[in-house]
Structure 1
Amino acid sequence: MEHVEAVVIGGGQSGLAAAHALVRAGLKPVVLEASDRTVGSWPCYYDSLTLFSPARFSALPGMPFGGDPDRYPHRDEVVAYLTAYAARLQADICTGRRVIAVGADGCGFTVELEGGGRLWSRAVVAASGSFGRPHRPDLPGLETFAGQVLHAADYRGPAPFAGQRVVVVGAGNSAVQIAAELARESRTSLATRAPVKFARQHLLGRDLHFWLTRTGLDAAPLGRLLKAPPAPPVLDDGRYRAALTAGAPDRRPMFTRLTDDRVTWADGTTERLDALILATGYRPHLPYLAGLDDTLDPAGHPHQRGGASPTHPGLEFVGLEWQRSLSSNTLRGVGRDAARASRRLAAHLARA
């Protein structure tokens, strides 16, 4: 069993930010990435995806986005950026190494790999994100619905749905973006439990993220104060509000039931439905921690305080939604949490 100074599980944006911070703290991390690329889930997002924050506010620590800092980078630009970022890291990055279990072993942790192999370390960072665990709500009749059902994680573009009747479930940025895109090719409705909330993309001639950064709200430690963090509003430059106002897509209160190939709406009307797309978010994907006592709650969410495990010193989390702030699981914010985690781990190792 190989002994290493620090293990980072996940080679996407969170894992790369964690590795960068650990190196700056004087440690030698080993990054374990299950796939063959250090780009996280970005290649799997829908084709038209662009960031909601400008390039100048969307970089990881130590390497700005190239090009126009006020543009909104496309999905493929993010993939290229993360690839270049990983190439510059002074860390041991191992792709094709899936972690299947982390266990407590004396004053450290054993990290078991798929296909054999074990590492031992006193410092572990869980940075595997949430894309591997899309949330599928328990909707009435969903299990017997005969139409196509897919999560936003599996959606790529509108072409396969041309001419169909489609309902998108969700009220967030992705739900509204996908529904508006589909409405150009199909008859699409957006089903939500409450009216969609919008936030203006630009205020006083500046992108909203300029003001979030200038006021400090973007980095404010709100995660521990909010038992139920609010759903973020849809960032809009006017296009999406106008699309919903024009009924393309139309927004409807949540349906009451799915039966066979039909949907029943809150007003009692029913109609045939071809496809249902669930833009209902994700949950932390941490199956490898299931055997580590008192680490996850029954729903699979980690027990953590600002990213630190309260029960297992030396175990840190990076990239959780609302871990500390509203930007904790974003390109622009994950670096702050990674830096805090690395400082705690450096102090932990120094106490050996």
Structure 2
Amino acid sequence: MEYVDVAVIGGGQSGLAAARALRAHGLEPVVLEASGQAAGSWPQYYDSLTLFSPAQYSALPDAPFGGDGDRYPHRDEVVAYLTRFAELLDAEIRLHTRVETLETDDGAGFLVHTADGVSLRAGGVVAATGAFANPLRPALPGQQGFTGQVLHVADYRSPAHYAGKRVVVVGGGNSAVQVGYELAQVAKVTLATRAPLRFLPQLREGKDLHHWLTSTGFDTLPPEWLVHFVGGTLVLDPGIYQHALEAGRLERRPMFHALEGDTVVWADGTRERVDVVLLATGYRPNLGYLKKLGALDADGMPLHSGGISITQPGLVYLGLEFQRSFASNTLRGVSRDADYVIPPLAAYVCKAPAAAGL
């Protein structure tokens, strides 16, 4: 059976950052990517998606986007950027290789089993599969009898299919507002949220918010502290979303009570016919392949401290939301987390405990 130093599961931004850090520690990682390109979930996002951070604050270390640093790169630019980064990375990347399950090796490390029946022995594992493949689809009261469509924003690509329709977008985060605003150009749209929207201007004193996040160190604050500064969900507003709501081009209402037939029953008891309910309700880590290891809690969330497994020596995570900071699952922040979790992983793979007589 083939042996690899470290199996990096996922070839998106987190997996590539992990491979770079592992190579810097003298290890030979093998990146296992389920899709046909090393760009993670970016190719699957909706067509109009742009980064919420400017190019100069969105790059991986020593790999600038190039061009105007103040622009907001489009989805396809990010795909091209990551593909180029992968091509220049001195690491083996195996495409069309989906990992189905992991188990501990009788010796040390792990057995990695793929969907095509191949198994590898790995000294260590980086779980870097992100969350896009595991959208959170909460059950809505009355959903089974609803005659319209209930979709997740993960299924959304462009507004063309929704022209002239009545759409309710459930959620109050960046994606909900950005997609809702786009849909409102061709459809009648309501944002259904449990709390009023909180807008955060993208520009302050002529500089993008990410200038202040990085220059002040806010990006690196631990998640336990963030609750004291960030209450609820914030929406970055380039100056168009709040104005659109105030102008009536789309509306926001408290979360509806139920779905019934072809209608929604709003919290105030009124009923309204709706064609599509679009869930912008987030995602959960796509880590089902770790279930057999006992590395997840009852809700499928990883048991970890800062991205280092607390149940399985030799297993680390990258790309978890708020893993170590506000920026953990972003292009600008994932390499900082890689620099934190890879050194102890490298020590484990190089058998530091045995060398110390333990």
TM-score normalised by the chain length of structure 2 = 0.95
The equivalent residue for 2:218 is: 217
Q: Structure 1 residues 14 and 39, CA, compared in 2 at 3 Å: closer, same or farther?
A: same
2:153 partner amino acid: A
Q: Superposed, which structure 2 residues align to 1:1-352 within 5 Å?
A: 1-105=1-105, 106-222=107-223, 230-293=231-294, 295-350=295-350, 351=352, 352=354
| Cα distance in 1 between the residues matched to 2:70 and 2:170 | 31
After the TM superposition, list the runs of 4 or more consecutive aligned residues in structure 1 that deviate by more than 4 angstroms.
223-227
Mean Cα deviation higher: 72-81 or 103-112: 103-112
Q: Structure 1 residues 316 and 39, CA, compared in 2 at 3 Å: closer, same or farther?
A: same
Q: Structure 1 residues 48 and 95, CA, compared in 2 at 3 Å: closer, same or farther?
A: same
The C-alpha deviation readout for 1:66-116, integer Å capped at 9, x for no partner, is: 110010000010010011010010001000111001101132110001121
> What SS is found at the alignment partner of 1:119?
strand
1:167 partner amino acid: V
Preserved contact between residue 218 and residue 327 of structure 1 (Cα < 8 Å): yes
CA shift, 1:284, in A, is 0.3
> What SS is found at the alignment partner of 1:252?
strand
Identity, % of aligned positions: 59
| Cα distance in 2 between the residues matched to 1:223 and 1:29 | 32
Taking only aligned residues, the RMSD between alpha carbons, in angstroms, comes to: 1.4
The C-alpha deviation readout for 1:253-298, integer Å capped at 9, x for no partner, is: 10001011111111111011111100111000001101002x1011
CA shift, 1:225, in A, is 7.7
Preserved contact between residue 223 and residue 324 of structure 1 (Cα < 8 Å): no
| Cα distance in 1 between the residues matched to 2:251 and 2:257 | 17
1:190 partner amino acid: L
Q: Structure 1 residues 224 and 101, CA, compared in 2 at 3 Å: closer, same or farther?
A: farther
| Cα distance in 1 between the residues matched to 2:331 and 2:209 | 16
> What SS is found at the alignment partner of 1:107?
coil
Preserved contact between residue 172 and residue 233 of structure 2 (Cα < 8 Å): no
CA shift, 1:224, in A, is 8.3
1:261 partner amino acid: D
CA shift, 1:185, in A, is 0.3
Preserved contact between residue 223 and residue 326 of structure 1 (Cα < 8 Å): no
Preserved contact between residue 2 and residue 120 of structure 1 (Cα < 8 Å): yes
> What SS is found at the alignment partner of 1:171?
coil
Preserved contact between residue 8 and residue 128 of structure 2 (Cα < 8 Å): yes
Q: How many matched pairs? A: 350
| Cα distance in 2 between the residues matched to 1:123 and 1:224 | 31
Preserved contact between residue 9 and residue 99 of structure 1 (Cα < 8 Å): yes
> What SS is found at the alignment partner of 1:276?
strand
> What SS is found at the alignment partner of 1:212?
helix
